Structure 1
Amino acid sequence: MPTGIMTTLAADKPVLDTGHTAFMLISAALVLVMTPGLAFFYGGMVRVKSVLNMLMMSFISIAVITILWTLYGFSEAFGTDHGGVIGGTDWLGMRHIGIAELWPGYGIPIYVFAAFQLMFAIITPALISGALADRVKITAWTLYIALWATLVYFPVAHWVWGSGGWLYKFGVIDFAGGTAVHINAGAAALGAILVIRKRVGFNKDPMRPHNLPLVMLGAGLLWFGWFGFNAGSWLGADGVAGAAFTNTQVATAAAMLGWLGYEKLRHGSFTTLGAASGAVSGLVAITPACGSVSPLGAILLGIVTGVICAWAVGMKFKLGFDDSLDVVGVHMVGGIVGSLSIGFLATGGVGQTAKGLFYGGGWDQLGKQCVGVAAVLVYSLVVSGLLAKGIDMVMGFTVTEEVEVSGIDSAEHAETGYDFAGIGSAVRSALASVDTNTADKSPKVDA
């Protein structure tokens, strides 16, 4: 998050800026759209018998995290600092917030800032769900994300974006969530999948996406919403927000090309799944850096990220961890690449004054970025793994292998994503009707 958009009076006291406020409300809505987009993106990549469970894992995050954010999450993340680690109890239950009270230093109401940040809190645990596809109880998942948000996301958001957060004060740059969102979620996914069982048939049976058009639709919604995610993180509508918007588009396009190029050389084909995954990897990588790099730097970052993430997703088979939909390879690895790129590509002339190594800034900023990456990755990995293990021991994190094989949608939700029997019956009835109506009938000629 930035440090300084405001509309001022003569005494430099911030006043309400309706333009910035409108921009932030629209940005918040765009970020919310990303979670249903993520549900479609993930939902299309699983098998037919798991699609509803996959969709539900994202949608339940909207409900659970919204309530927790209102009760204590916003206060925990952005309340009065305590030791650089956690916020205070200032806004428990969203109390003590005046309707016209502005976020300190900005021309937008606290309520608007809180709503914008809520959408980040919602999508971050939803990102984890892709690593656990096909095998997780919805009750266990709901408990997991509630505990994870409380113990991991809210504190880490304070570290990175809170005015007294220790990483913020240390000088780590994370414009819109490379560490707090993507490395955090990717490390959590890795921690969870290391302690729960693998899918039945992992690395043996084909587990192809059941609906690639749904994947492409989800990727498109993510791309669309990401402009609010990144440009909105400047907390105002001006040239820096425009640069973040532009860098987001440029890096995403470059990453798609980088992924597809690697895929063509490695496997001989340009796939739609590769295009969608490459685009998402670019969105991930540019997130922390969109307020620091130039458009040319965004192109370089995008290409490099697309190639590295395309390579990384294949490592799960060699290393033996069952990351169902490549959350580790795309979000954790992409977040690391994007966060560290600031230490090389930051120009010092966009939304941040710090310069990277390629612009004469030396090694200082790169060192700070390394500290931020390592701190968030290790903390999230360890705590997330312990949470998953604890839930697995107490109530069982996954469904039985029999339920997984027969279909988690029917067992967990008493529904199926597609009524094939009904469709088949309707088609047969229609064909029978056509045959009956056309049999032994000669064409009529008007007089």
Structure 2
Amino acid sequence: MLLHTAADTATTVSVNSLWLLVAAALVLLMTPGVAFFYGGMVRAKSVVSMMMMSFGAIAIVGVLWVLYGYSMSFTSGSDWLIPHVLGNPFTNAGLIPLLTSSDGGPDLNMLAFAGFQATFAIITVALISGAIADRAKFGAWMVFAGIWVTVVYFPVASWVFNFTMGPNGLTDGGWIVFGLGVNDFAGGTAVHINAGAAGLALALVLGKRIGFQKGMAKPHNVPLTLLGAALLWFGWFGFNAGSEAAVDGIAALAWINTLAAPAAATIGWLVIEKIRDGKPTSIGAASGAVAGLVAITPACNILTPFWAIVLGLIAGAVCALAVDLKFKLGFDDSLDVVGIHLVGGLIGTLYIGIFGTGIGLIDTGSLTQLGAQAIGAFSVLIYSFVLTFVIGWIIQKTMGFRIKNEDELAGVDTVVHGEEGYALETV
């Protein structure tokens, strides 16, 4: 019986690790999905630049994550550099300690988890790029990505994703999850609020595009954007269900909610478009789906499917209205990183404090959880915005972040990369 139990345990661990590896591949696919999603929405002469920013994020963040990012984000006990705030970058430098487990071989579960979390860091950086489309230097973007992920994302990930569970609950972790008790299952704060606030800061640093106004530039390739949205939705099942790090009922609930919320959000966005503009659009459908995916991310483990649908409807409608704020407030968030990721992340994170099963206002009659969710969300927002603004401002004043006006008019693809997205030959 003992041998049988040990074998069953080993099999369970292997299945869970396999699921993490598959989920990590799904989440990594989301970054090319972002490249397609953003690439289709910019001008034809900016598509290469836009997509390169996503692929550049894979390159720089992937390297830094292995070198020290995992160590900074995931640590415990005496290995904290600053308890509950920042991990020691040398504890698991190069992931070397993960290469040896109790049986002498590589630690399957920990390496799978490290790979899974690496893809979260990558896509968070890639999401920011949509706010500065058509006007950023690639070299400056790569420098920014390396600095930002180090001083902003890695610490925030340690606040939100890093925790240790004991038989009686949490025993250690980052201050947002361990200290406040915030429910952020898959990154409403660490990924979407973080990226949205950073996008707003960079949009302010780089300034407006030439001729900035509503309707200034229509998406040059709608099918490309729809393909990107499809890849994002597909990969998001790994993003949310994979965050359970196990094959169990919570993972299944997260999967169902990842279907229900964005489906409802698509409807919510299209209804607003029909009322406001008279026509529902395919870009609206794609944007609505992404808004719903953003909103359900922190809440997919704690909502019933019914409340996930309600969340989706709210997020789709509100985000559809929020994307026009840039014209009223005067900041050029090119591809609506603020309107979709910052606003959607806030909606999903705060929604838990009211409708979260067993912890929200409806079930407990208490506003305690809502207060915790709000403190966690706005702490990340402020931290990310301030540091991003400083990083972006320094880069702009030193090496220059924004391309010249004449280069923007000529097209960033040919000026920065010497390539064209669509090279048409004439006979």
Q: Distance in 1 between matches of 2:215 and 2:29?
A: 34
CA deviation map 1:346-399 (0-9, x unaligned): 113xxxxxx201222411110100010110000000000000000000011011
Q: Distance in 2 between matches of 1:309 and 1:415?
A: 34
CA deviation map 1:79-134 (0-9, x unaligned): 233321101231011122244469xxxx9611010000000010001000000000
2:193 corresponds to 1:197: no
Q: Given the two structures, how large is their TM-score scaled by the length of structure 1?
A: 0.88
User: Structure 2, unaligned stretches of length 5 or more?
Assistant: 164-172
Shift of 1:26: 0.4
- Write the letter of the residue equivalent to 2:57: S
2:175 corresponds to 1:166: yes
Match of 2:362 among 333, 337, 358: 358
- Write the letter of the residue equivalent to 1:236: A
CA deviation map 1:32-78 (0-9, x unaligned): 00000000000000000000000000001001001000110000000
For the 8 Å contact 1:258–1:278, the answer to whether it is kept is yes
Aligned length: 405
2:65 corresponds to 1:64: no
What is the SS of the residue equivalent to 2:311? helix
2:245 corresponds to 1:235: yes
- Write the letter of the residue equivalent to 2:298: P
Q: Distance in 1 between matches of 2:271 and 2:158?
A: 38
Match of 1:215 among 177, 200, 225: 225
TM-aligned CA distance change 1:241 to 1:204, over 3 Å: closer
| Alignment partner, residue 128 of structure 2 | 128
| Alignment partner, residue 97 of structure 1 | 98
| Alignment partner, residue 28 of structure 2 | 32
What is the SS of the residue equivalent to 1:417? coil
Match of 1:367 among 352, 362, 371: 371
- Write the letter of the residue equivalent to 2:352: I
| Alignment partner, residue 153 of structure 1 | 153
- Write the letter of the residue equivalent to 1:157: A
| Alignment partner, residue 443 of structure 1 | none
Shift of 1:14: 8.3
Q: Distance in 2 between matches of 1:300 and 1:271?
A: 22
Shift of 1:271: 0.1
CA deviation map 1:226-255 (0-9, x unaligned): 000000000001111000000010001000
TM-aligned CA distance change 1:361 to 1:23, over 3 Å: farther
CA deviation map 1:241-300 (0-9, x unaligned): 000000010001000000000110011001000000000000000000000100000010
TM-aligned CA distance change 1:16 to 1:287, over 3 Å: same
| Alignment partner, residue 398 of structure 1 | 402
For the 8 Å contact 1:16–1:108, the answer to whether it is kept is no
| Alignment partner, residue 167 of structure 2 | none
For the 8 Å contact 1:101–1:110, the answer to whether it is kept is no
Q: Hey, which bits of structure 1, 4+ residues long, moved more than 3 A?
A: 13-16, 98-102
Match of 2:415 among 411, 415, 425: 411
User: Structure 1, unaligned stretches of length 5 or more?
Assistant: 1-7, 349-354, 426-447
CA deviation map 1:177-217 (0-9, x unaligned): 00000000000011111122211111177211000000000
What is the SS of the residue equivalent to 1:109? helix
Q: Distance in 1 between matches of 2:52 and 2:401?
A: 16
